[in-house]
Amino acid sequence: MNRTELEKYKAILLAKQAELSGGLRNRDDILIEKSPDALDEVQLAGERELAIRNLDREASLLRNVRAALFRMNEGSYGVCLHCEEEIKTKRLDAVPWAGFCIRCQEAVDRNEFAAAESIDDMLRAA
From the CA atom positions of the chain, what is the Rg in Å? 18
Helices 115-125 and 38-74: angle between axes, nearest 10 degrees:
70
pLDDT tens-digit readout, 92-103: 999 999 999 999
Predicted local confidence at residue 68, as pLDDT: 97
Predicted local confidence at residue 54, as pLDDT: 87
Predicted local confidence at residue 42, as pLDDT: 85
Cα(84)–Cα(123) distance, integer angstroms: 18
Asked if residue 57 has pLDDT above 70, the reply is yes
Question: What residues does 79 pair with on adjacent strands?
Answer: 86
Cα(57)–Cα(6) distance, integer angstroms: 26
pLDDT tens-digit readout, 12-49: 999 999 999 887 666 665 666 777 788 888 888 888 88
Superfamily of domain 3-125: DksA, coiled-coil domain (1.20.120.910)
pLDDT tens-digit readout, 107-126: 988 888 765 555 555 555 44
Element (H, E) at 89: helix 89-94
- State pTM to two decimals: 0.76
Q: Rounded mean pLDDT of 74-81?
A: 94
